[in-house]
Structure 1
Amino acid sequence: MYDDDTLHAERIKSIDPTQFIQETEEYIHYYNHQLIIVKLKGMSPVNYRVHAL
């Protein structure tokens, strides 16, 4: 049986490098702009930074 990291590593090996870069950039954008983080008072990292200024 595979664990999640092994399955993820196998998917990365089989993906086109251009597609991998695109998906990574999309995830980074999602994480920074849409993901709500409780530690950041329920805001996304970008919103928290803007609010703190």
Structure 2
Amino acid sequence: MDFASRTPEVVSTLRVTGEDCLIFNVHCPQAGRLEEVVDALARYGPVTTSLALRA
């Protein structure tokens, strides 16, 4: 997807089956930047966000 290639915070993209069709692995230094990325992605459709608290 062009969005992923234009957004440096997107580190990987998975195309999946089921309720969701794409999963973006996004690394953002601040919550405000994550909000900007989510807002930009929402132009394409509904967005569900999950955060990893520990890796």
Structures share a fold, TM > 0.5? no
Task: Tell me which protein shows more strand as a share of its residues.
Answer: 2
Structure with bigger RCO (C-alpha 8 Å, 6+ apart): 2
Higher share in helix: 1
TM-score, normalised by the number of residues in structure 1: 0.31
Larger Rg: 1
The TM-score with structure 2 as length reference comes to 0.30
